[in-house]
Amino acid sequence: MSNFYRDNDDIQFLFKHTEPGELAEICEENFRFSTDFDYAPANADEAIQNYDMVLDSFGQLSADFIAPRAEDVDRQGNTLNEDGTVTYAEPIRESIEKLGQAEVMGFTLPYRFGGLNFPNLVYSMAIEILSRADAALMNIFGLQGIAETINAFALEEIKQKYLHDFSAGKVTGAMVLTEPDAGSDLQSVKLRAFQGDNGSWFLHGVKRFITNGCGEVLLVLARSEPDRSGGLGLSLFVCDRGPTVNIRRLEDKLGIHGSPTCEIFFDNTPCQIIGERQRGLVTYVMSLMNGARIGIAAQSVGIAEAAFRVARDYAATRKQFAVAIEKLPAVRDMLIDMKIAIEAGRALLYETSRVVDIEIGYAKRLKTNPPEDKAEAKQLKNDCRKYKRYAAMLTPMSKYYCSEMCNKVTYDSIQVLGGSGYMRDYPCERHARDARITTIYEGTSQLQIVAAVRGVCSGTFEKFITALAEQNYDAQVQDLLEKLAEGTKQLKDSVTFVKENGNEYMDLYGRALVDIAIDLITGFLLCGQASTKVDTEFPVAEDSPAGNGKTIPMKERKAMIARRYITKNAPRIAALAELIRTGDKSTFTDYEALVGPVSELVD
């Protein structure tokens, strides 16, 4: 039987390399839950065994049951019924049912609600695996972040009402944020939340572009303070799907057809407030979206992995000019770059997930069980703040890099197949259509850059890269570390120049700054993988001179990956740094002349 976990050597390698036992200790709060729950691990080894076992069964379910149905899901789509309800494509409904039976719909929820209490790192691995099978289904599975937000901020009675059903797979949810005139600018949300005579809350208005808006549990951002504009006038609410929640239309989309995207009209819908008034956007939705962005990064890696495998198989079997096309240098180069880009994205994604796990764990300990020793408590607070800043920088970086990488890889996958890739006979075109949304939803690439560049220019990046540079690396990558050190200096000089020219200039060259930062961070991560203590092997092709048709040590292969990645990026980093320091502001000064007047569109 197929297995999307067991057949991916890189995921299995990184599962060990990232040392999940340390995260298990944080998530399990020193394994105190084992006294109250029979299935909670008593030590790190048991936790790691649990993670591996669940990923194994998840990988098999994804490969054997979900992936074969993905094409039918794409062609069937969803149906809006006359009564305003939505019917999923039958394979989607079946897959959701299977995921519930597998007890993986509460991946990160606490044991007391029937959840698995797994780290975000393992959850990211699961999302990637599922997305490789069916990206549209991931959109429904990945909305577990709604349950996380309820768990983090809601009253206990609300948690008890919803979270058991989430873990059991009895309900799905939706993040109900955007509106016709409030997409990325959520501060402009107008949907009204008001209280009745008895103090109960109600919702009235329209929301648009809502993924799985037909779900049973809806988290809704609404304006609770009618006299206050901006983000401080917004609160977060939870409501059930019911007769006052009307799906007015399903969007006719380019891709992810199995994931219903809804326009919703709330007609005085009863609801309950989550947390405190006026903190809906600033605190709760920002937390929700950060988790969602990591989910989209994982989805992107999964789609890219699926597209690469189609191209790799085709290139090895398709013959032109009497040879397999993978023998042609241009095709061979393209496949190598695709593979390295995926592994670079996976490295960044998993490191981000690890940092988020540490941040959440430290924050939880400060809140529920702070150290009695003052010095230890102070150190924990400092560490918590540090990891929070790291997570705030790495999360948009991951979403930006992985989604852009995904689009490039799926585009190149079609190119490898040529005319066949453009046809629906192969899944490349579906992967490319599914990939396109990843740079848009949960914040466009441009918004991710705006969020990430603050970390690059504020000192957070410098502290993070210094910590990476101070780690122990093998001798085989020492020359690469010198290239990364030179790139780091070039970025520091660029940041100094940018600061001298103001925030507007920083935003103008934000993409270049963030691209350099990502190249450097990922370069160090790949060098770390090449210096790993994990002893695993990697299979190589029969005609490979490196492996003599057998296997090579994974760390040896990772050194090859790091060398090609860092060496190819070094000139790009230098060029981007030079571009940043040109001082060119023609985007501001010459915009009208360069783009020309607005043209009248013909219907």
CATH no. for 469-593: 1.20.140
Each residue's pLDDT tens digit, 323-352? 999 999 999 999 999 999 999 999 999 999
Each residue's pLDDT tens digit, 7-28? 999 999 999 999 999 999 999 9
Distance CA 448, CA 440 (A): 10
The confidence score (pLDDT) of residue 545 equals 45
Tokens 């208005």 belong to which residue?
205
The confidence score (pLDDT) of residue 447 equals 95
Residue 547 — pLDDT band, cuts 50, 70, 90?
A: very low
Residues of the chain with CATH 1.10.540.10: 1-171
Domain 285-443 in CATH 3.40.50.2300? The answer is no
Domain 173-278 architecture: Beta Barrel (2.40)
1-171 belongs to which CATH class? mainly alpha
Which residues, listed in sequence order, are joined to residue 249 by a DSSP beta bridge? Answer: 263
Angle between helices 510-530 and 554-580 (to 10 degrees): 160
The confidence score (pLDDT) of residue 183 equals 84
- Of 521, 530, 525, 522, nearest in space to 475 by CA: 530
Distance CA 469, CA 509 (A): 25
What percentage of the chain has pLDDT greater than the value 90?
92
Each residue's pLDDT tens digit, 161-206? 999 999 999 999 999 999 998 888 899 999 999 999 999 999 999 9
The confidence score (pLDDT) of residue 550 equals 82
Report CA-CA distances (Å) from 377 to 13, 24, 89, 92, 381: 35, 21, 52, 48, 6
Tell me: pLDDT of 551 over 50: yes
Task: Read off the tokens for 132.
Answer: 């490789």
pTM, full prediction: 0.96
Tell me: pLDDT of 557 over 70: yes
- Cα 96-5-54 angle, rounded to 5 deg: 60
Amino acid letter for position 464: F
Which residues, listed in sequence order, are joined to residue 207 by a DSSP beta bridge? Answer: 264
The confidence score (pLDDT) of residue 144 equals 86
Determine the 3-state secondary structure of 600 from DSSP.
coil
Each residue's pLDDT tens digit, 91-145? 999 999 999 999 999 999 999 999 999 999 999 999 999 999 999 999 999 998 8
Distance CA 552, CA 555 (A): 9
Across 35-39, average pLDDT: 93
| Helices vs strands, H then E, count in the chain | 22, 13
What are the φ/ψ torsions at residue 223 (nearest 5 degrees)?
-90, 105
Mean pLDDT rounded to a whole number for the chain: 95
Which residues, listed in sequence order, are joined to residue 425 by a DSSP beta bridge? Answer: none
Amino acid letter for position 411: Y
Listing DSSP states for 16-36 in one string gives: HHT-HHHHHHHHTTTTGGGGT
Across 467-486, average pLDDT: 97
Listing DSSP states for 336-383 in one string gives: HHHHHHHHHHHHHHHHHHHHHHHHHHHHHHHHHS--SSHHHHHHHHHH
Distance CA 299, CA 438 (A): 8
Each residue's pLDDT tens digit, 239-286? 999 999 999 999 999 999 999 999 999 999 999 999 999 999 989 998
The confidence score (pLDDT) of residue 548 equals 53
- Of 467, 455, 468, 525, nearest in space to 495 by CA: 455
Residues of the chain with CATH 1.20.140.10: 285-443
Task: Read off the tokens for 436.
Answer: 């396109």
Q: Is the dihedral of CA 394, 398, 404, 409 positive or negative?
A: positive
The confidence score (pLDDT) of residue 579 equals 97
Which residues, listed in sequence order, are joined to residue 238 by a DSSP beta bridge? Answer: 219, 272
Residue 364 — pLDDT band, cuts 50, 70, 90?
A: very high
- Of 40, 49, 53, nearest in space to 21 by CA: 49
Tell me: pLDDT of 458 over 60: yes
The confidence score (pLDDT) of residue 542 equals 56
Kindly give the pairing relationship between strand 201-211 and strand 192-195.
antiparallel
Across 293-300, average pLDDT: 97
Tell me: pLDDT of 466 over 50: yes
Residues of the chain with CATH 2.40.110.10: 173-278
CB of 215 closer than 8 Å to CB of 174: yes
Report CA-CA distances (Å) from 176 to 106, 163, 182, 249: 20, 18, 12, 15
